[in-house]
Amino acid sequence: MRETVSKRAPTLNLPHIAAGEGIVAVVVVALVAYAALYASPYGLRVLTVAGVYALATIGFQIVFGLGGALSLAQGAFFGLGAYATGILGSQWGWTFAATFPVSLLVPLAVALLVGLPVLRLESHYFALATLGIAQVVHLLAVNSPGLTGGANGLPGVPGIVLFGWAVPRGLPLAAIVWSFVAIGGLIAWTLARGRWGRALTLVRDDPLAAGTLGLDVGRLRLTAFALSAVYGGAAGALAVHTQRVVSPEVLEFPVMVSILTIAVVGGRGRVAGAILGAVLLIHLPEWFRFLERSYLLVYGVALLAAIVLAPHGLTGLIDRLFPPRPKPLPIPVAPPVPQPATGPVLQIADLGKSFGGVRAVDGVSLVLDAGSITGLIGPNGSGKTTVINLVSGLERPDQGRILLSGQDITGSDISGWRPDRIARAGIARTFQAVSLPPGATVLDAVAAARLDRDRSIVEAEAHALHILGRLNAADLAPRPCADLPAALRRRVELARALARQPSVLLLDEPAAGLTDAEKADLATHLRAIAATGTALLVVEHDMGFLLPLAGHVLCLDQGRILYDGPPEGVRSDPTVVAAYLGEGAA
């Protein structure tokens, strides 16, 4: 109903190419020349292995770099792909055309199966659980000699056969492996720059906000994990074709450590980082081999130095040396306006929530009419933020009902009304403690609110710029969120919520930290927003700001409604004065 598509998408905003990618292009050309003209058979073998690791790490970048989840299962996915190819190729005589897809599907199936429960875990537990997957797969491989050859593995894995051509070792094999890197890299690069990649980085930077901006956090993480598994499996399959044997080594921890190191040294989240890192780290041991015994020490020191000197990896270093050109701003485009709601939009009945022994919200009922501004006041800890969390689905009520335009949207484990679905139904919110993704520009941050409905990032940015303009904040668009003072951060967060074109807007202390002039300006904007039919619920402490603004005020104390009436009656209500305003205000 609120889904809207703009007819006119500006074409000005060309995808910009960071220097990191440019340097990778140079490196790739150099590598091709080296491979074709100079490399020894051994050198080509090392280069092929580097390609295998590049591919595995490109996949790992999706879940770890973009998604921010430290998955230690990438080695297991690599091993699963390797064993699928190894077993089917050497025992069953399958050819590459048959084994390769299976090597992608097996890790994919495992990722989908274990992903759902595992991705719910907090970061450290997630890392441990994914490590557990790797351990289980390793144990299975070692302890089922009938299938896997046990500790000895399986020899006699056939080489790659493409369209009847048995790809020989050396240059042809290196070229084939690196073609897979190119294809996989291109796919990942396109995904990372598109809406999906943007959504995933928001999930990484601020999962709570991502949900309230209509993004299905669980599904995004699961697809990232699944996609990383496919890349891992592909790399494992190619590794086995290169070595012509499969053994439990492919499932051992060093594989995972290498992938992680390549991602960190190359640059987190960047396809270019995976490629640069893989070429460098797979070749380093070879370059240091002349040091014989002490090479591991030198290798370790070189690695540490790289991490200390380039904390954002090689691509980060390149970006610092050659800062990417700032993106041109799009032409602002007004997003299509949804049908304004009328009458009571949000109805809350007898809402309750306890945290342990604390009754944070206790039987709260309220109605928000379209186009109205309702104030929610009360002492600290009286449950105001919890009411907003319950309505936006970040907390689950243990009592009561929430209706949006007559539809029951009460969040619960069975109803499926999670924050993203509630957000898509038309509820937007801001946070008491403003949280904007630190690495993003203001335009990125506001455009994130439209990723679930606009067709492209270009369109989302054009709409976002228009919304920023409505709040007189268009000039902030190119600035990094991290640089903004508090008042402007609040303005940006309001723009982000507004970009959702909500029918209900919940604002948690929007005027906190603002000067009087800024508050007056905010009040004007809030009135204008309400005038378009949006129902506003404003939590605020500043009565001078709130009372002239609100048509209706509720006061909470210890989760209960103390006062529910017109703003004029608040200051003279004895219970409100006693619990909240104090004698001076009366």
Q: Is 381 in the site for ligand ADP (CB under 6 A)?
A: yes
| DSSP per position, 393-435 | TSS--SEEEEEETTEE----TTT---HHHHHHHTEEE--SS--
Question: Two tokens at 119?
Answer: 């991705």
Contact 81, 236 (CB under 8 A): yes
Shortest Cβ 382–Mg ion spacing (Å): 8
Can you point out the beta strands (E) in 282-423? 344-355, 358-369, 373-377, 399-404, 407-408
- Is 258 a binding residue for Mg ion by CB under 5 A? The answer is no
Pairing of strands 165-166, 161-162: antiparallel
Q: Does 172 bind ligand ADP (CB under 6 A)?
A: no
Single out the segment in contact with Mg ion by CB under 5 A; choices: 20-28, 224-232, 432-440, 442-450.
Answer: 432-440
Using CB under 6 A as the binding rule, the residues of this chain from 65 to 94 that contact ligand ADP are none
Query: Is 452 or 509 the residue whose CB approaches Mg ion more closely?
Result: 509
DSSP structural state of residue 441: B
Give yes or no for residue 375 binding ligand ADP (CB under 6 A): no
If binding is defined by CB under 5 A, does position 386 make contact with Mg ion? no
Part in contact with ligand ADP (CB under 6 A); list of ranges 330-338, 339-347, 383-391, 446-454: 383-391
**Residue 358 found at the interface with ligand ADP (CB under 6 A):** yes
Structure token pair of residue 506: 């919940």
Going by C-alpha positions, the residue among 191, 201, 248, 222 that lies closest to residue 58 is 191
Burial of 97 from C-beta contacts in 10 A (0-12 / 13-18 / 19+): exposed
Cα torsion for 105, 108, 112, 118, to the nearest 10°? 150
Cα-based angle 22, 170, 275 (whole degrees, multiple of 5): 25
User: Site size for ligand ADP, by CB under 6 A?
Assistant: 11
- Decide if residue 389 touches Mg ion (CB under 5 A): no
Tell me: does residue 99 bind ligand ADP (CB under 6 A).
no
Nearer of residues 386 and 441 to ligand ADP, judged by Cβ: 386
CB of 114 to Mg ion, least distance (A): 37
From the list 95-103, 192-200, 205-213, 426-434, the region that binds Mg ion by CB under 5 A is 426-434
- We find the least distance from the C-beta atom of residue 378 to ligand ADP, in angstroms, to be 6
By CB under 5 A, is residue 261 in contact with Mg ion?
no
Phi, psi of 479 (to 5 degrees): -80, 145
Alpha helices in 163-216 (DSSP H): 171-193, 195-205, 207-212
What is the distance between the alpha carbons of residues 525 and 446, in angstroms, rounded to a whole number? 17
Q: What number of residues does the chain have?
A: 586
Give the residue with the Cβ less far from Mg ion, 335 or 510.
510
Window of 11-19, 203-211, 381-389, 511-519 that interacts with Mg ion by CB under 5 A: 381-389
Sheet containing 504-508: order of strands:
427-429, 504-508, 535-539, 373-377, 552-557, 560-565
E-only strand ranges, 458-546: 504-508, 535-539
Interaction pattern, residues 452-491, with ligand ADP; x per rule: CB under 6 A: ----------------------------------------
Q: Which two tokens stand for residue 387?
A: 């009411």
430 contact, one of ligand ADP, Mg ion, none, CB 5-8 Å limit per kind: none
For ligand ADP, the closer CB: 384 or 450: 384
User: Is 430 a residue that touches Mg ion (CB under 5 A)?
Assistant: no
Choose the one of ligand ADP, Mg ion, none that binds residue 11, judging by a C-beta under 5 to 8 angstroms depending on kind: none
Tokens of 460: 């989302």
Q: How far is the CB of 61 from Mg ion (least distance, A)?
A: 37
Closer of 294 and 380 to ligand ADP (Cβ): 380
| Cα–Cα separations (whole angstroms), residue 526 to 65, 206, 371, 470, 493 | 38, 25, 10, 11, 13
**481, amino acid identity:** C
* Residue 382 binds to ligand ADP (criterion: CB under 6 A): yes
φ/ψ region of 504 (left if φ > 0, alpha if ψ in -120 to 50, else beta) reads beta
Nearest distance from residue 384's CB to ligand ADP, in Å? 3
Nearest CB to Mg ion, comparing residues 399 and 432: 432
Binds 36: which of ligand ADP, Mg ion, none (CB < 5-8 Å by kind): none
AA letter at 78? F
Among ligand ADP, Mg ion, none, the one that 382 touches (CB under a kind-dependent 5 to 8 A) is ligand ADP
Residue 410, interface with Mg ion (CB under 5 A)? no
Q: What is the smallest separation between the CB atom of 358 and ligand ADP, expressed in angstroms?
A: 5
Q: Is 385 in the site for Mg ion (CB under 5 A)?
A: yes
Q: Does 352 bind ligand ADP (CB under 6 A)?
A: no
Q: Candidates 37-45, 81-89, 235-243, 373-381: pick the segment binding ligand ADP (CB under 6 A).
A: 373-381
Nearest-approach distance from CB 176 to Mg ion, in angstroms = 59
Q: Which stretch binds ligand ADP (CB under 6 A): 32-40, 52-60, 232-240, 382-390?
A: 382-390
In the block, which residue shows the tokens 């009938």?
A: 146
Rounded Cα distance between 361 and 383, Å, is 5
Of 385 and 503, which has the nearer Cβ to Mg ion?
385
CB contact burial 186-198 (16+ within 10 A = b; e otherwise): ebbbebbeebbbb
Q: Which stretch binds Mg ion (CB under 5 A): 316-324, 383-391, 471-479, 546-554?
A: 383-391
Contact with ligand ADP (CB under 6 A): which of 165, 253, 322, 355? 355
Q: Is 210 helix (H, G, I), strand (E, B) or coil?
A: helix
Q: What single DSSP character describes residue 166? A: E
Question: Exposed (0-12), middle (13-18) or buried (19+): which is 363, by Cβ within 10 Å?
Answer: middle
Contact 411, 386 (CB under 8 A): no
Query: Which part of the chain contacts ligand ADP (CB under 6 A), choosing from 77-85, 145-153, 355-363, 567-575?
Result: 355-363
Residue 185 C-beta: closest distance to Mg ion, Å: 46
Choose, by CB under 6 A, the member of 360, 394, 447, 570 that binds ligand ADP: 360
Q: Which amino acid is at 500?
A: R
Beta bridge partner(s), residue 347: 367, 403
**By the criterion CB under 6 A, which residues form the site for ligand ADP?**
355, 358, 360, 378, 380-386
User: Which positions touch Mg ion (CB under 5 A)?
Assistant: 384-385, 432
